[in-house]
Structure 1
């Protein structure tokens, strides 16, 4: 871990301790209230549970320590994505999104935002480098893309978008702020589904938006207040707890993924293996849907489930959800299991095909 990330982790871990008095809890309390005492003229930010909650604030502060920027929390990654779109796009705007990125982002644009006269184009992530950004108000990026794991240069995209006046929004779910820092590379805004690696235990839904642009931040905050999209305090508590071990989990998950790729790359049971050289997600393509399903179901250390980023290794065929990938494509999310046992079990499942 580099020194900057180490300092961010230290800041996150000890953010609460600085203001604690004797007898106060180290962990943030789960504050379950819709109302606050407000006699007379309110002189407190705590007015109503739809606007603000202390447990949610603790989660936001922890994420902000990692992002080096203000954070607005949401009850899911899609809620965060929706807020980012609504904050940055207006009627008549056009949005560029990756055709190989998270498909629900495209569904949002096609089925919901089209009614607000917001249109979009979808191109492969690898085509961003040569694409003309001048028609767009928003350039939406994922790198690595989910599930295709293709890459693009955030810095180059941000420089090109600045010349045309477009805003760059990066979905950083696959890497987290410890592995990739889009704001530092020139992005205007970052969204994340913290349901994945940030929470890390597959037990809560959560998302966040972060930006250093005060005007955009105010729009996101206003959207959350008016739309009622604040996370519940128990989910915020679970997210906060998960963040306390994020760096430890990521270190094991990334090491496991690298060890697995070293062992199975070029295996005869695979048509292709896609790994961007960073992170914990691997793309495996089998010759058929049946072979892909057999690989998942025959491996005792793989949970057959959607989503990714948890401590348990999981896998699924993404074509069943509408992603533009082959029927035999499997997104493998590598977890925190003991490395040798994990690699041996996955190799054995490949050998059984």
Structure 2
């Protein structure tokens, strides 16, 4: 597109960004560049510093989020790189309900005296603002994992900046198609690109985006030094996944909204948590952990597995993980809704719930 062309919409960016130039005999897709060493005298020099396949992916993700992107070997590698910005003894404000890996990293850093952590109810904006006093970094998700709570990103960002803190938003659940935190005041956006961005449950990848050139330089320097770089083939697969991101999110979100409504009317379900957008639905089984375990093991189309954001539908009881916060109900099951036909998804869920109802709460938990 020319300089005079209108800014393309996200669905168009997902398809067109990071492509080779439109010239005769150029491939439509960026090739996989398998190189650890480059001829001296250019910008790359060595494989840990950059790769043309990474660049194509990073250009695309940066354009979708409205900033510059760095990709990493995993979502947790991206998380640890951002947390490394906090100085010795600095304070990090974070949600009590959050991605388990993030909470474990925070707990590990605090146990070693590296940082101090203040856990908050991210839906209580006033309490979050008060917790920002003397904080170095405010980290949150919206929606949260797996409670699906929504934060006021703009208000929290304003309060954090007034207190002198950086703001980081994990945008994995919403994706850049549904929410762009940089435009709402966030300094850094983090993604587990393993999830919706790659979208096919076959890649591990993390990503960081920022519109601050100085922050980008610092984060790039940390990646260069620590070496948490993505594989070239993984970067190529992730970029291929991005090309259909808008279609996958559109279909999965429509399925999720439909299923959330049906699940809310089922007698085996005591609570449905769905924020009104995205493709994650959390339900609480009325008869607790045993019923939730049975439910997860009785589906046939839905796959009992951790992780989320793939084309296939998966589900799991979150409290089966010892590190899950005790404030998450024992009977909560997180559903990652895929792109299958919604009637087939519902038929499978309904049959599993019928088994739960017929067996009752005395059913022992399954391993």
TM-score interval w.r.t. the shorter chain? over 0.9
Equivalent position to 1:340, from 330, 338, 343: 343
Alignment pair present for 1:293 and 2:293: yes
For 1:186 and 1:300, the matched residues in 2 are separated by: 43
For 1:13 and 1:279, the matched residues in 2 are separated by: 20
Give deviations 1:134-176, integer Å, cap 9, x for gaps. 1311111111100111111001101111211111110111111
For 2:21 and 2:152, the matched residues in 1 are separated by: 40
Alignment pair present for 1:122 and 2:124: no
The RMSD of aligned alpha carbons is: 1.7
Give deviations 1:110-157, integer Å, cap 9, x for gaps. 214654621111122223433311131111111110011111100110
In the TM superposition, residue 61 of structure 1 has moved relative to its aligned partner by: 1.2
Unaligned runs of 5+ in 2: 1-5, 357-367
Alignment pair present for 1:314 and 2:330: no
For 2:8 and 2:294, the matched residues in 1 are separated by: 41
Secondary structure of the corresponding residue to residue 199 of structure 1: coil
For 1:36 and 1:116, the matched residues in 2 are separated by: 41
Alignment pair present for 1:7 and 2:6: no
Pair 1:129–1:334, CA change in 2 (3 A) = farther
Alignment pair present for 1:104 and 2:63: no
2:174 maps to which residue?
Answer: 175
Secondary structure of the corresponding residue to residue 94 of structure 2: strand
**1:1-353, aligned counterparts within 5 Å?**
7-17=9-19, 19-38=21-40, 42=41, 44-87=42-85, 89-112=86-109, 114-115=111-112, 117-131=114-128, 132=130, 133-286=132-285, 287-321=287-321, 322-324=323-325, 325-353=328-356
Bigger shift: residues 225-234 or 127-136:
127-136
Bigger shift: residues 312-321 or 287-296:
287-296
Contact 1:191 1:207 (C-alpha < 8 Å) held by counterparts: yes
Pair 1:200–1:279, CA change in 2 (3 A) = same
TM-score, normalisation: structure 1:
0.94
Contact 1:303 1:313 (C-alpha < 8 Å) held by counterparts: yes
For 1:290 and 1:28, the matched residues in 2 are separated by: 49
Secondary structure of the corresponding residue to residue 271 of structure 1: strand
Pair 1:74–1:5, CA change in 2 (3 A) = farther
TM-score, normalisation: structure 2:
0.90
For 1:332 and 1:159, the matched residues in 2 are separated by: 33
Contact 1:5 1:178 (C-alpha < 8 Å) held by counterparts: no
Contact 1:266 1:273 (C-alpha < 8 Å) held by counterparts: no
Give deviations 1:63-87, integer Å, cap 9, x for gaps. 1121121101111111111111113
Secondary structure of the corresponding residue to residue 316 of structure 1: strand
For 1:194 and 1:201, the matched residues in 2 are separated by: 11
For 1:342 and 1:5, the matched residues in 2 are separated by: 37
Contact 1:129 1:153 (C-alpha < 8 Å) held by counterparts: no
2:3 maps to which residue?
Answer: none
Bigger shift: residues 181-190 or 289-298:
289-298
For 1:16 and 1:182, the matched residues in 2 are separated by: 22
Secondary structure of the corresponding residue to residue 129 of structure 1: helix
Segments ≥4 residues shifted beyond 4 Å: none
Give deviations 1:226-265, integer Å, cap 9, x for gaps. 0001100011011000000000000000000011012121
For 1:28 and 1:220, the matched residues in 2 are separated by: 25
Secondary structure of the corresponding residue to residue 190 of structure 2: strand
